[in-house]
A = this chain, B = another copy of it.
Amino acid sequence: MQTSERIERLLTAVLDGAAGPAAPPRLAEAMRYAVLGGGSRLRPTLCLTVAAACGDDRPAVTDAAAAAIELLHCASLVHDDLPCFDDAATRRGRPSVHRAFGEALAVLTGDALIVLSFEALRPVARDAPERLAPLLGIVARAVGMPAGIVAGQAWESEPSIALDEYQRAKTAALFAAATAAGATAAGNDPAPWYAFGERLGEAYQIADDIRDVAGESAEIGKPVGRDHALGRPNAVAEFGLERARWRLESLLASALDRIPSGVADGGLRALLAHQARSLLPRSLARPAA
């Protein structure tokens, strides 16, 4: 089965488990809308690819970790789009959840997806019980306080933001978790994979900043120019386009250097090359080295 098909199947299965006749139908529908409406699936792909590079000896455990990571990512998008944050009208090329279902259901959709992501980890106990607590910790740290996604978002409510800490928490934390979770799911030490994932995440955030400045709304599926409009930090605004691009490329190279020696490649380098090409707006992309 292809990685992308594996991801859609496992997300659908987890969502099916949260639905059923007893569930309030509109919330169940909003959750599917938030998760199954496209999306790059970068983070679960990374999780599965690292697990493959580490042997993937318990595929059901890897699936659980990948699902948890993507559900948390989707939850963060739904809440980020709310009127009290970005007030985004579109996401993935169609109405954001709160525009499609109302604000109350959008808050609940995010909440339910956070809960579901942890519940998705429960099957780990069946196949590799000793891996459950480490995976729970990796996932929780990536999204909670003091330095996960929620913390990153909260820096926007502080009087001043340090760009590095903000981006590390808001984006890099979940990339690092995706790679660390992939290694842990396959019974490997996650430590070396954190640095790899963090660099990838920082690169992705810079690419996102570049797209926000130089991309086109139709291409990236959400409005452009939001950072400027919302007074948020943006690497292009801070360093200029050329320096931001240079930093993106050096981060990708540095990520490659962090791949622990001795693991099977498992498509990891190919994925990275593909990512490097797909991260930038088409008008700026050049083939990765």
Quick check: B133 and A22 within 8 Å, CB to CB? no
Quick check: B118 and A151 within 8 Å, CB to CB? no
Residue numbers in B under 8 Å from A187 (CB-CB): none
Residue numbers in B under 8 Å from A79 (CB-CB): 107-108, 111
**A144-167 interface code vs B (CB 8 A; 1 in, 0 out):** 111110110111111000000100
A154 to B126, CA, bound (A): 31
Contact-size category for A: 35 or more
> Does A20 touch B at the CB level, under 8 Å?
yes
A31 to B85, CA, bound (A): 18
A110 to chain B, nearest CB (A): 7
Point out the residue from B27, B103, B144, B150 that lies within 8 Å of A154, measured CB to CB.
B27
A156 to chain B, nearest CB (A): 7
Q: Which residues of A contact B (CB under 8 A)?
A: 18-20, 22-28, 31, 75, 79, 82, 84-85, 101-105, 107-108, 110-112, 114-116, 118-119, 121-122, 124-125, 129-130, 132-133, 136-137, 140-141, 143-148, 150-151, 153-158, 165
